[in-house]
Amino acid sequence: VASYQPWASTSAARAVMQGNRSRDTKPELALRSAVHALGLRYRVASRPLAGVRLTADLVFRSAKVAVFVDGCFWHGCPVHSKQVITNSDYWTTKIRRNQRRDATFDDALRSEGWLPIRVWEHQAPSEVALLISKAVRDRRAH
């Protein structure tokens, strides 16, 4: 029992080693293939805004849609992050900072005419893919 670790502590340790936003995570790959299956093409892990160090997980340049697959722990998913951060100011502070940065990036994207779409890594890839597809096609139509 002494060696018990909640999943987030290992996940958090891994994220620290890799930097907050890791690439090619399982949820990300699942979403990419679901979106691909709907006939949409996109850039992976590219920067939507010139001169801004901001990387989106899926970028639809012509539609100006940027998709971020946010890790439940690091970005403070209401379903999965609360239970593990209750007794940790350290993690809470880090997560809040990430959330503020996410909001700043979203504002920057919107001011350049982009639509930021944030999804949680726990969301069903097929449902998210439909949502993304609709947004991309709507914006291309206009």
Q: Please state, in angstroms and rounded to a whole number, the distance separating the CA atoms of residues 134 and 126.
A: 13
Q: Please state, in angstroms and rounded to a whole number, the distance separating the CA atoms of residues 77 and 120.
A: 7
13 binds Zn ion (CB under 5 A): no
SS3 label, residue 118: strand
Closest CB to Zn ion among residues 60, 120? 120
77 binds Zn ion (CB under 5 A): yes
Q: Which of 122, 126, 131, 140 binds Zn ion (CB under 5 A)?
A: 122
Q: What residues contact residue 123 under an 8 Å CB cut-off, 6+ apart?
A: none
Closest CB to Zn ion among residues 82, 134? 82
Shortest Cβ distance from residue 112 to Zn ion (Å)?
Answer: 29
Per the listing, tokens 């989106």 go with 56
Shortest Cβ distance from residue 117 to Zn ion (Å)?
Answer: 16
45 binds Zn ion (CB under 5 A): no
Tokens of 39: 């006939």
SS3 label, residue 19: coil
80 binds Zn ion (CB under 5 A): yes
82 binds Zn ion (CB under 5 A): no
Interface ranges with Zn ion (CB under 5 A): 72, 77, 79-80, 120, 122
